[in-house]
């Protein structure tokens, strides 16, 4: 088991993740995915997990329970630590949740770097275009030395793997 983290550039990302991770991996998305026609129902019935980020105290408690569930069932988990999809395909800052999950579960973090998916599916439409998409699954990062005292350092360690792997046109955007 591991915590897979990926950049988020396209609605296709959930399908890209599902096609490239072990069958015992579940993903975590924001609650709003449940309201997408067809996709929301498919997501829920497939056993994937969600959080309501609009209520931060509840979101933190939910992440705690998710960590216990993942650890207790020896599952891998897939997250998009940017928190929302990048509108221009550029890498955004990472939120802290994946570090807390790694500290709680002791699982390694596997960077899952997606290139080119932002050209595949137009934002705000159901139009899908042919595009070359590259997925780099980088070596697992041992999290045993991470601590609550240096969450920002852990975030930067993982974020830097993405910065070193993505092409220039996917770096440095505001999203």
Sequence spans of domains, the chain:
3-170
pLDDT of residue 37: 78
* pLDDT-derived band at 173, boundaries 50, 70, 90: low
Higher pLDDT, 3 or 123: 3
Q: Go through the chain and tell me how many residues it has.
A: 175
Integer-rounded Cα Rg, in Å, for the chain is 15
Which residues pair with residue 109 across a beta bridge? 3, 141
CB-CB neighbours of 125 under 10 Å: 8
Per 3-state DSSP, the chain is made up of helix, strand and coil in percentages (nearest 5) of 40, 20, 40
Residue 145: predicted pLDDT: 97
CATH number at 3-170: 3.40.1130.10
pTM: 0.85
Going by DSSP bridges, is the β-strand pair 134-137/109-115 parallel, antiparallel, or unpaired?
A: antiparallel
Q: Is the model more confident about 130 or about 142? A: 142
Q: Look up residue 150 and give its DSSP letter.
A: G
The reported pLDDT for the residue numbered 110 is 97
């Amino acid at each position: 088991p591991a915590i897979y983290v990926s950049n988020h550039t396209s609605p296709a990302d959930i399908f890209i993740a599902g096609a490239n991770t072990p069958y015992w991996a579940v993903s975590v998305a924001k609650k709003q995915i449940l309201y997408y026609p067809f996709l929301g129902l498919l997501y829920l019935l497939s056993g994937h997990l969600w959080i309501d980020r609009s209520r931060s105290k509840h979101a933190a408690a939910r992440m705690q329970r998710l960590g216990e569930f993942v650890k207790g069932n020896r599952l891998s988990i897939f997250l998009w630590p940017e928190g929302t999809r990048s509108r221009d395909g550029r890498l955004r800052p990472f939120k802290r949740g994946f570090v807390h999950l790694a500290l709680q579960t002791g699982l390694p973090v596997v960077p899952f770097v997606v290139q080119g998916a932002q050209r595949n599916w137009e934002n705000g439409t159901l139009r899908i275009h042919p595009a070359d998409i590259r997925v780099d699954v980088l070596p697992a990062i041992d999290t045993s030395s991470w601590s609550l005292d240096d969450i920002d350092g852990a975030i930067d360690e993982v974020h830097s793997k993405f910065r070193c792997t993505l092409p220039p046109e996917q770096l440095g955007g505001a999203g």
